[in-house]
Structure 1
Amino acid sequence: MGQKMNMPAYADEPIYGWACEALSGGLNLADLEYKLSDNQSPNVLNMWYKNRTLCKRNGQAWYSAALGADVLAAYTKLYKGMFVVHAGTRIFTVSRDGKTITERMNGLTAQGGSFLLFANKLYYRNGAEYVVFDGSTCARVMPTVPNVVINRAPDGSKGDATDPYNLMGAGFSNTFNGDGTTTVYQLTDTGLDAATVTATVGTAHYTEGDGNFSVDRAAGKVTFSTAPGAGQNNVCITAYKTAQDEINSILHCRYAATYGGQNNSRIVIGGNGTSTFFISEPLDPAYFPANNDFTVANNSGDIYGFGEQYDILCVFLERSIYGLSYEFAESKGMFSTVCINPNVGCDMPGSIQLVENRLVWCNSYAGVHTLVSTQIENERNVQPISRNINGNVARPGLLQEQGLVTAISCDFDGRYWLCVGGYAYVWDYGVSPYSYSGDTDADALRLSWWRFDNIVGRALCEDDGTLYIWRQNRMVRFQNDFEDFGGAIHGIYQMPLRNFGQNDYLKTVIECWITVRADTASRIRLKYITENDPNGEYDTEDIIVPSKMWKGFLWNAFQWTVINFAKSFRRKPNKKKVFLFGILLENNEESRDLSISAITMTWRSAKKIKS
């Protein structure tokens, strides 16, 4: 952090020093430049704080061939050694090395959705289709056919209700007690579909059209050519009746999560244009019972996603958050819902991540938030954390980006990435973890946010410590170099304008020292900025660091390692009688870093400001 310290005097005029040796504060667009902390920046691009040094972000390189259509969604992890992606109307897999692309399914609607791993299979829903991939075969999910009644009399006069109807399918079964004389069996439903009816009598299996029975679809009756024998639950008839509105309520859901029980044994889905969500049967993602639906917020608004924090599944609406809880009592699972926050929600479904056991998400009207507590009693359980980067008309930032609702995100290597509009806004929570103190602004102020450009993506995924992004129809890998696709990464870092703690004096800046790493090739241009020259003036001499990789063998570890050296470069800004002073450092050359470990300078008072 910055500090003010006495320096040796020259000609009876005291010389003071200013230094910042941890440039970790990140971007701050919210506050006036001269009000920023010493380690923050009003203008930083494509830089992050890594290994206690400010340096350029990782570069990008093409990793796979083109898919032939733009990517709409991708699974965030490697699945059975493959990347899985929805592009156009097809689902593809891409081999781990990026070289082999295999089409797995065609005929999907070209709209994005979400993948979910459940019971070692990968499920995908996009608001129109619901498919499953097991590593070799990709197909539409076939709805489970529930047995809705047992012990039913042939005439339908009695029976015991069992399983609810399946909202996602038309099929249902009735199980009867045969009496040995009756040939006509009355089903629970009339107006049946044209789908083939089947029956099992004892151990014999019959299919409509084989001469063993006929069907009166309008009346919902099945007439056997020979009366089934007497027995308990020895006659089972399966028929179909489509309730398209109910089926659509399931198929149109775009978001899913696992929840319930000790091992998250159910799938919860939502996002069909209403505030109703649905819960599957345990361990059966093809069965959404008719009595397992919950409506929140008086059926107003839509659901934009789910996120689990501790034992609560949060349901995100645009302007509110509800919590789903589960408990097992009296030999059955019980679900209940409660409003967690009635004012703040999420309309950016791709932004939801679990970061250090706290949910983090973004909305288009107030920025990034975190969930401090799932207890409704805590009225401040949702806290904003992006005040530094939200931006405004004068200094555009996150909330001025186009297409916010299509943002994508990930939690990778101690950083929360939020990508939108060709930029990535990255919170380094490894450097600045969130801690709730009750002071909302102060808690958000100290978080380190960074902004990268040229980050164009449809989906993010990771594998074994490497981050990938799908850029239109090709996969891109982030790698430890200083190039984007063979070109330069434009790195910028501007220290905040400083008055050096003296509000009543003009100053003369004498010297400055820029400390850089000596093990990466760098060329740094320096621009001096004052209140009289806000556009700045370049120094005539750049800082140049040739590429030198020093290696030494560690006998006790039996591995090679890089020993990182630092080197300071002195410059003389020669800025006299200025009130505010700052330095902008930049580099826009391929294969060159912008490495800054510390900034130090000396100055003396020049003239007292008269009112």
Structure 2
Amino acid sequence: EPLFLTRLGVYAVTSQDITGEKISNLRSFYLNGALLSERGLEDAFAFVYKDMYWLCLNGHAYILDGLQATQTDRSAPYSTRQYAGFYCTNIPARVLWEQDGALWFGTAEGKVCRFCTEPGALTSYSDDGAPVRACWRTPDVFGKNFYRNKTFSRFYIGLASASATGFRALARVQGLWEELLRDFATARYFSYANLTYSKFTYSNDDSPRTIGDKIRIKKVDKAGFLVENGELNEPFALDSIALEFVETGHYKGG
């Protein structure tokens, strides 16, 4: 469907379900919090690549997935649907185009860059030779009753295996981050195509791995968790996060 940018967000031209009258409907509901705070919306550049609507300005990319449409209100017409949105940083795109099946962009300084399209190549997981920090962060976990003590006893993740991958897990307790565990070996498997002697493993198991251990976070009202990988040329595909905790007496502060 046709999309266009306004000072109120990205809109689509749609038809009323019954009358067929053309109207405009908001499509950037999930991105507007950041998008509408940008300076110079008139300088934004939009491009559609593989059913994805890319809108770039000020080093940020706002992406709408045309294949993931949801209705925010089931009683409303389908024309009011919203697309899944993605907010990306450190993408200095001034213009975008497609060439040989890949997405390219040019910067304001005249550089020409291409997004990698080879997921099996480890060099795809870097930014022009620099490492990319990828992380998943949970909201604060308050449990069923926010006013009770929590004791967290176990932490596990499901991680897609790769010839070079791993993770570091941290917890935020009383506002301070502390490392829980790290593992840069278990989820690796041997690959001739991506052989790196410093990351060598004898394992041939390329199935997803369940990795975790006991932890001890006692008598807190809440805790937040973060899993990250900031290593050069390492994919990081997190499938799931699991926690075990119990609630006991009333929280008395700390």
Q: TM-score, normalised by structure 2?
A: 0.76
Q: Kindly provide the CA deviation profile for residues 257-299 of structure 1, in whole angstroms up to 9, marking residues without a partner as x.
A: xxxxxxxxxxxxxxxxxxxxxxxxxxxxxxxxxxxxxxxxxxx
Kindly state the Cα deviation for residue 579 of structure 1 after the two structures are TM-superposed. 2.9
User: For residues 363 and 459 of structure 1, what CA distance do their matches in structure 2 show?
Assistant: 19
Q: Secondary structure at the match of 1:368?
A: strand
Q: Which residue identity does 1:454 align to in structure 2?
A: N
Q: Secondary structure at the match of 2:112?
A: strand
2:184: which partner in 1? 544
Alpha-carbon spacing, 1:496–1:443, altered in 2? closer, same or farther (3 Å): farther
Q: Which residue identity does 1:458 align to in structure 2?
A: R
Q: Secondary structure at the match of 2:42?
A: helix
Q: Secondary structure at the match of 1:449?
A: strand
Alpha-carbon spacing, 1:460–1:596, altered in 2? closer, same or farther (3 Å): same
1:448: which partner in 2? 84
Kindly state the Cα deviation for residue 413 of structure 1 after the two structures are TM-superposed. 2.4
Contact 1:375 1:381 in 2 (8 A): no
Count residues with an aligned counterpart.
230
2:5: which partner in 1? 362
1:294: which partner in 2? none
The question of 1:401 aligning with 2:38 is answered yes
User: For residues 156 and 85 of structure 2, what CA distance do their matches in structure 1 show?
Assistant: 25
Calculate the aligned-residue CA RMSD, in Å.
Answer: 3.2
Q: Kindly provide the CA deviation profile for residues 115-139 of structure 1, in whole angstroms up to 9, marking residues without a partner as x.
A: xxxxxxxxxxxxxxxxxxxxxxxxx
Contact 1:359 1:370 in 2 (8 A): yes
User: For residues 14 and 250 of structure 2, what CA distance do their matches in structure 1 show?
Assistant: 48
Q: Which residue identity does 1:417 align to in structure 2?
A: W
Kindly state the Cα deviation for residue 424 of structure 1 after the two structures are TM-superposed. 1.2
1:515: which partner in 2? 158
Kindly state the Cα deviation for residue 406 of structure 1 after the two structures are TM-superposed. 1.2
Kindly state the Cα deviation for residue 390 of structure 1 after the two structures are TM-superposed. 2.4
Q: Secondary structure at the match of 1:518?
A: coil
Q: Which residue identity does 1:518 align to in structure 2?
A: S
Q: Which residue identity does 1:453 align to in structure 2?
A: T
Percent same amino acid among aligned pairs?
Answer: 23
User: For residues 361 and 573 of structure 1, what CA distance do their matches in structure 2 show?
Assistant: 49
2:200: which partner in 1? none
Alpha-carbon spacing, 1:576–1:363, altered in 2? closer, same or farther (3 Å): farther
Query: Which of the residues 81, 104, 127 maps onto 1:484?
Result: 127
The question of 1:463 aligning with 2:99 is answered yes
The question of 1:413 aligning with 2:53 is answered no
Alpha-carbon spacing, 1:603–1:458, altered in 2? closer, same or farther (3 Å): same
The question of 1:385 aligning with 2:27 is answered yes
Q: Which residue identity does 2:46 align to in structure 1?
A: S
Alpha-carbon spacing, 1:571–1:412, altered in 2? closer, same or farther (3 Å): farther
Kindly state the Cα deviation for residue 503 of structure 1 after the two structures are TM-superposed. 3.8
User: For residues 214 and 4 of structure 2, what CA distance do their matches in structure 1 show?
Assistant: 45
User: For residues 23 and 248 of structure 2, what CA distance do their matches in structure 1 show?
Assistant: 50
2:145: which partner in 1? 502
Q: Secondary structure at the match of 1:602?
A: strand
Query: Which of the residues 65, 79, 94 maps onto 1:428?
Result: 65
Task: Spell out the pairing of 1:210-225 with structure 2 (5 A cutoff).
Answer: none
Q: Secondary structure at the match of 1:593?
A: coil
Alpha-carbon spacing, 1:603–1:425, altered in 2? closer, same or farther (3 Å): same
Alpha-carbon spacing, 1:449–1:538, altered in 2? closer, same or farther (3 Å): farther
Query: Which of the residues 15, 40, 44 maps onto 1:373?
Result: 15
Kindly state the Cα deviation for residue 520 of structure 1 after the two structures are TM-superposed. 4.5
Task: Spell out the pairing of 1:47-62 with structure 2 (5 A cutoff).
Answer: none
Q: Secondary structure at the match of 1:574?
A: strand
Query: Which of the residues 208, 225, 231 maps onto 1:583?
Result: 225
Q: Which residue identity does 2:237 align to in structure 1?
A: S
Kindly state the Cα deviation for residue 378 of structure 1 after the two structures are TM-superposed. 7.8
Q: Secondary structure at the match of 1:418?
A: strand
Alpha-carbon spacing, 1:499–1:429, altered in 2? closer, same or farther (3 Å): farther
Q: Which residue identity does 2:183 align to in structure 1?
A: I
Q: Secondary structure at the match of 2:166?
A: strand
Kindly state the Cα deviation for residue 609 of structure 1 after the two structures are TM-superposed. 5.3
Kindly state the Cα deviation for residue 518 of structure 1 after the two structures are TM-superposed. 1.0
User: For residues 190 and 84 of structure 2, what CA distance do their matches in structure 1 show?
Assistant: 30
Unaligned 5+ runs, structure 2: 119-123, 193-203
Alpha-carbon spacing, 1:477–1:569, altered in 2? closer, same or farther (3 Å): same
Q: Which residue identity does 1:597 align to in structure 2?
A: D
Q: Which residue identity does 1:468 align to in structure 2?
A: W
Higher relative contact order (CA 8 A, sep 6+): 2
Contact 2:13 2:22 in 1 (8 A): no
Alpha-carbon spacing, 1:465–1:402, altered in 2? closer, same or farther (3 Å): same
Q: Kindly provide the CA deviation profile for residues 14-34 of structure 1, in whole angstroms up to 9, marking residues without a partner as x.
A: xxxxxxxxxxxxxxxxxxxxx
1:595: which partner in 2? 237
Q: Secondary structure at the match of 1:405?
A: helix
User: For residues 460 and 512 of structure 1, what CA distance do their matches in structure 2 show?
Assistant: 42
Kindly state the Cα deviation for residue 467 of structure 1 after the two structures are TM-superposed. 0.8
2:121: which partner in 1? none
User: For residues 13 and 107 of structure 2, what CA distance do their matches in structure 1 show?
Assistant: 31
Alpha-carbon spacing, 1:418–1:569, altered in 2? closer, same or farther (3 Å): same
